[in-house]
Structure 1
């Protein structure tokens, strides 16, 4: 799978470990930064990962921040993105199974490496359920189209 990934200064160390692990598993990982430990603004990082996904250059995206809250908001401003902030396996399964999220957001200040790895693996392997959830995603997409017109 082609994965675009980015992290602000809070998620830098965790991102490095995830990139190493995902690459070792055979995924193509495109690291969009940050690469230095100094504070950076996360919205441009989120935008770049999301554009990789919506542009077809990546199958999925991952963004890491301190809490992940701002990153989730920023990602979901990009047309076509369904970013889910996942703190545990239950929210991860819902994010993929029910919401077909295409960007995973992780809170680096909250998660251990083991928890993050488990969430990533669950997110990458959980299929979208379709059915009633597809109808709801169509309604969300309609809201997104409507907001572009106004």
Structure 2
């Protein structure tokens, strides 16, 4: 599976742990995030992830910032993106099952690194249920 990841200054350690897990499982990872804690602007790292997913260069995306909100808002500006802000593995599963989310947004200042790794693993291994949820997901996009 191809995964695109991006993070601001709140997420380098989260990204490193997530990328390690993904690569150990044989996934191909494209890193658009910063590797330092020097202050940066999260949109600069979120837009490339959204573009990768939109263009089919990645199957899924992962974005990380302090609250998870700013980078989540950024990627959701892209028409083909359904990004979900998640803070538990249960929410990450529901984001896939019910919303067919294709990007997970992680709040680095409100989750632990092991929790974030677990959420990503759950997200990537949970299928969209379709059915009644498909009609709802189809209504999300604006023309």
TM tier, smaller: over 0.9
Structure of larger gyration radius: 1
Gaps of 5+ in 1: 146-150
**SS at the partner of 1:35?**
coil
What is the match of residue 28 of structure 1? 28
**SS at the partner of 1:98?**
helix
The two structures have a TM-score, normalised by structure 1, of 0.92
**Residues 60-103 of structure 1, C-alpha deviations (whole Å, 9 max, x = no match):** 00001101011111111011100001101221111000000000
What is the match of residue 73 of structure 1? 73
Following TM superposition, where does structure 1 have runs of at least 4 consecutive aligned residues deviating by more than 3 angstroms?
none
The structure richer in helix per residue is 1
Matches within 5 A, 1:1-150: 1-141=1-141, 144-145=142-143
The question of whether the paired residues in 1 share the 8 Å contact of 2:11 and 2:66 is answered with: yes
**Residues 94-113 of structure 1, C-alpha deviations (whole Å, 9 max, x = no match):** 10000000001001111112
The two structures have a TM-score, normalised by structure 2, of 0.96
Higher alpha-carbon deviation: 108-117 or 59-68? 108-117
Aligned residues: CA RMSD:
0.9
Count how many residue pairs are aligned between Structure 1 and Structure 2.
143
Deviation of residue 37 (structure 1)? 2.2
Gaps of 5+ in 2: none
